[in-house]
Structure 1
Amino acid sequence: TGDGGRMLKGLIAVTAVRPTAPVAGSGDTVPPTAPGNLRVTAVSDMSVTLAWSASTDNVGVTGYRIRRFAGVDASPVGSAAANVTTFTVMGLAASMSYTFDVQALDAAGSVSAPSSQVTTTTSVGGSSAVDVALNRPTSASSYTQSYAPGNAVDGNVNTYWESANSAFPQWLQVDLGSAIGVLRVVLTLPPAAAWATRSQTVSVQGSADGVSFGQLLGSAAYTFDPSSGNTAALVLPAGTTTRHLRLVFTANTGWPAGQVAEFRVFGAA
């Protein structure tokens, strides 16, 4: 089971013969100890860095799972190797409170009890850390079921916009209210591990009137990985000013549609 899991994650080569010999007797039935002394070592407007004391196991710890809480529910936001006891959670919002814990894993698939929880608040960070798209009017080329464009600016990473399937290109846009300087766009997908790593091909357009759009950033593929926050940052050219900001999607390796949980826009400092 442990070897199979590592093969699926790409950590070891896929082979017909298991590289790890089975444990004699009843096997590894003892879970690792809980990670200790979970603490915050750095905070910014969009990230939190965590550190903890290593766990122990009768056979060996194979890695760590980092979880973020929404109320009483915890969702994985990343993982760390067995010899790593620090992790930076990316794609967070400024001036928001977040709670985390960490679990240890072993080769038998056993999971430790969670560490103690730690809660921290991201920094304000100045005007460049203010999401100017939050709760602003949105529109889209299409959406499916209840995955409407407004979900992308509601401040909740667990709700999302999804376009019609198998009908690229698709677009999602936000009205910032007035023409402002825009520095970067941060796109996020739900943090749950069920959202497997994928690449979306996106370009960025801008408009003063919401009718005539010009290209601001050329088409490129951006990777979304749950182990690093499921977030991609799009840096716009210096001096970019626009009111209506449009994302144009032409491909998605994980699902044949455009998908965005949070469409965050940050102005120049």
Structure 2
Amino acid sequence: ADQNGPLADPAAPPPNPGVLTVLPAADTTAPSVPQNLRVTDWGTDFIALAWDASTDDTGVYAYDLYRSEGGAAVKVARVLAPATTYTDTAVTSGTTYTYTLQALDSFFNFSADSAPVSQTAEAKMVQVTFRVRVPDYTPGTVYLAGDLPGLPQWDPGATAMTQVSDNPDIWEYTLTLPDGTQAMYKYTRGSWDTVEQWRSISGLANRSLTVAYGADGTQLVDDTATDWGNGPDEHKAVQYWRDPLVVSVAPADGAIGVDAATAITVTWSVTMSAGTTFDVADRWGTPVSGTFTVTSDAHSVVFIPDTPLTVGETYQVSVSGQTSAGGDVQQVPALWAFQVGWRAILPLIFR
């Protein structure tokens, strides 16, 4: 077509052509270069970016985002102002991308490129530290068991924790896990017979966590609180182990000058069955006969000899294979000795 209307032969030169006049833009000043282009989040299927807003004498119209994979950069988005964020979802897991940004105004004046930023489309990894408090009578090593990626699955004796030097009741273990991982776990002393068992953390019920990258890619799983019964159990300290443990004895191991009429007491970590006993013998292995009584709270067992113990004799007490009120069997034997009467008669000997 020309100024006379449609042409009969579109291929022929127009007899009365028009004139197109292009006027220079009133504004020739480009916006400022975008600053602080940065990656704010990422995963295997996205990379999120943000930047500080540019300035311009007539106003910023948009931002053009360019991406390269090691070669020439290609524009992947035009983000209209005032937005200063963009999430790139057209990514391939494991690929590293480099981004730059230009600002433009409504007169199509373009800024110079921003400083580049690079990021690989991959799962964020988090350094997760498990920290647990255990009862002060806990023997041996504490282990972490669960379905945590990278560890033997639900093996109660595979992943030993480290005892904190300035607090022997605290144990820790650190590993790296993908952000967003959901897992279950428990603490053990090397077997399922010596696993933690208390309140809701019992039987098939486990502790749980969701891994979160947070501000710096570290996460503390703090299982040290001792306010049992106040809130959920899953991030409290271990209150009890499954197997009954001897937590204190009287007379104490190595005691001397013990009264010949003494009773012998064993205190347990959990309530015990009515038939709980232990063995008492002199240095020659001769058994001491007597009567056993379980205290009203079922945590202590008291042995009263039928006759007074022999002054000057050393007695050995051994406790093994006993069963708790819940039917769990003692896994850690207890053995100790004490001596009767010498403390009282030594001053007479040396007179």
- After TM superposition, the score normalised by the length of structure 2 is 0.28
Relative contact order: is structure 1 or structure 2 higher (C-alpha 8 Å, sep ≥ 6)?
Answer: 1
Higher strand share: 1
Structure number with larger C-alpha Rg = 2
- What TM-score results when the alignment is normalised by the length of structure 1? 0.36
